[in-house]
Chains A and B, each alone.
Chain A
């Protein structure tokens, strides 16, 4: 089965580009804003959009995304309203959309119903920061039936045994968490990231995307040099928070995303 994510990574590879995966918290500050952001960020060069599903107790997130989740919950966002937004978005764009959701939101929705309705709405993959593949049993069948890729994470602390175990189960791409920490922390050891990405490549052929701590165009360029995808979260969410309800918010965030993609392209065109 080839998914839309597979197709996106393959097309980019042909063009000699790396994927820019932009994270926004769905419903921050409102779902209308998120909808507009998705469309504009695609224009600005994002290749894949990761939509955060707000959860009351996000154990893997730092303050920036925690506060975004609080704002999204205050604006009345839920998994149900996010899926409706995805349905609406599909009339406007075909950019791959993946959900980043803590498992309890999916559990409460019903794992089977979730896989079915998410795929139906046009969601192209799911990342669950608190769900290692060890616990994913109940989701695997329904996800496969719906054709919904489950994307798993690896971390700097992962042992060789886990690297093999997790990478082989991850569909679409492997999400490599660049640092031992939570979202929004500072990335400092790029050599270590490169080494670990290489190790993951040895055990799987699915693309490897790197996230956590990628904050600036310079970071994005460096990560693009070693991985297939660059995930930027807190840095984008911070910009959204800074402009909030102001009319120029979307334009400003799109500008930031454009600068990320430009830096990645520049790094790729340089001979290595």
Chain B
């Protein structure tokens, strides 16, 4: 397996740049600017500075002793991205792209958000760097993540509701792309996951790969060996690729991505792209996509807004085709049960997205040996979901 992507942004068959011509020059410029920033010592040290002092990195790799004991199999470590400033891994990317925006002298930034975590991270970075910020969010997501909508507004950002299609993440991305097309000369689009046209999937992977680099160091320090298995939830796939990337060449380290099984794959109400999809093109990239026979994109369902999306990052399609990573799904109910379990066993409330990774851990850890090591990416904290969980349980706060 060579290094991906290619110069054209291809991960095998996947990726590329399927965008209107208006955006092409901006994507080419972004690619150039990013590759020069990547080699620029000053940019890298600035990025490192903010990640350390503002985000609070490195995040800890925490041995979940009680969960391990309860499940009775592999030794479980949690990579605590929930401890990042703003509560999820999303800020690793937002800081990186915020610095790039300034480098390109783009003083207005836009973003899409599903769960609101990327929106909050972008709004936060915008406030900190003094940039103007507008965040697009499906109106369905605005309802289930009302707390994050208010947080973004408190941070000085404009939140614009998107009422089209399924009124979720996919529609927010389309609207952000339309804004970018219109305001391309003044605006940088901070996409929140390893999606969209090249160079986004590569660049966002690079910004998130700090997760895996730290994990590698931390597990070697704690255990003197690499983990047997990595587990992460996969919406677009940025927290997963962030954890996986530093381990890709370590063939003995198994990697599992967990998609949203919603009400069950058989019900059709889910976001399990590998179970129900086939390759197609959505929002700039070729990848596995939930679609009908005629190429219309299907509506998706997940209890977790951050996983509720019809396509998956192109590099994941590639890793799956190569057999380097495996993908599975868990249902809404399994994720909800995992939320409770982690809250009660470890005193950690995971984001509903991350709860999907925990739910798969619940299934797989007991089948593993006690001396085997599991690392689960705890991509975010569950504070944002408390209101939604209360509503689901018929409790008024």
Known A60-B20, A107-B295; judge A159-B25 contact (CB<8 A).
yes
Which residues of A lie under 8 Å from residue B282 when comparing CB positions? 57, 104
Contact of B182 with A181 in the complex, beta carbons under 8 Å: yes
Cβ distance A197 to chain B, nearest Cβ, rounded Å:
15
In A48-72, the 8 Å CB interface with B consists of 55-60, 62, 66
- Most A-side CB within 10 Å, residue of B16, B22, B284, B293: B22
| Chain A residues in 8 Å Cβ range of B294 | 78-80, 105, 108-109
Compute the total of residue contacts between A and B using a CB distance below 8 Å: 118
A interface, CB within 8 angstroms of B: 55-60, 62, 66, 73, 78-80, 102-109, 129-132, 134-135, 152-159, 162, 166, 177, 180-182, 185
Residues of B with C-beta under 8 A to A109: 294-295
Q: Is B185 at the interface (CB under 8 A from chain A)?
A: yes
B16/A135 in contact, CB under 8 A: yes
Is there contact, CB below 8 Å, between A130 and B18?
yes
Query: Beyond A57-B165, A59-B283, A130-B281, is A158–B181 a contact (Cβ under 8 Å)?
Result: no
Query: Given known contacts A130-B19, A132-B19, A155-B20, what 7 new A-B pairs fall within 8 Å (CB)?
Result: A79-B295, A104-B297, A108-B292, A109-B294, A130-B284, A135-B17, A155-B22
Q: Is the CB of B165 within 8 A of A56?
A: yes
Chain B residues bordering chain A, tally (CB within 8 A) = 39
Residues of chain B within 8 A (CB-CB) of A153 are 20-21
Q: Kindly state whether residue B319 has any CB partner on chain A within 8 Å.
A: no
Indicate if the CB atoms of B181 and A180 lie closer than 8 Å.
Answer: yes
A107-B280 contact, Cβ under 8 Å, with A57-B174, A134-B17, A135-B18 = yes
Cα(A177)–Cα(B22), bound, Å: 8
> Is there contact, CB below 8 Å, between A105 and B295?
yes
Q: Is the pair A59, B280 in contact by a Cβ cutoff of 8 Å?
A: no
Q: In the bound complex, do residue A59 and residue B178 qualify as a contact, i.e. CB atoms below 8 Å apart?
A: yes
From B19, B23, B183, B280, give the contact of A104 (CB < 8 A): B280
CB of B178 within 8 A of CB of A107, answer no
- Whether the pair B291, A104 counts as a contact (CB closer than 8 A) is yes
* Chain B residues near A (Cβ < 8 Å): 8, 16-26, 164-165, 170-171, 174, 177-178, 181-185, 279-284, 286, 289, 291-297
B25 touches A162 (CB 8 A): yes
A185 — which chain B residues lie within 8 A by C-beta?
182
Q: B293 touching A158 by the CB < 8 A rule?
A: no
Given known A-B contacts A107-B295, A158-B24, A60 and B181 have beta carbons under 8 A apart: yes
A130 to B25, CA, bound (A): 14
Docked-complex contact B170 and A108, CB < 8 angstroms: no
Contact (Cβ within 8 A) B281 A59: no
- Least Cβ distance of A72 to chain B in Å? 11
| Across-interface contacts of B283 in A (CB, < 8 A) | 57, 59
Q: List 12 A-B contacts (CB under 8 A).
A: A56-B297, A57-B297, A59-B20, A59-B178, A103-B281, A107-B279, A132-B20, A134-B8, A157-B185, A162-B21, A177-B22, A181-B182
- B contact residues around A108 at 8 Å (CB): 280, 291-295
Task: Report the separation of the CA atoms of residues A102 and B282 in the bound assembly, to the nearest whole angstrom.
Answer: 9
Chain A residues closer than 8 Å to B181, beta-carbon distance? 59-60, 180-182
A107 surroundings in chain B (CB, below 8 A): 279-281, 286, 295
CA of A59 to CA of B285 in the docked complex: distance in angstroms?
A: 13
Least CB distance, A3 to chain B, in whole angstroms: 22
The residue that B25 contacts in the complex, of A62, A104, A158, with Cβ under 8 A, is A158
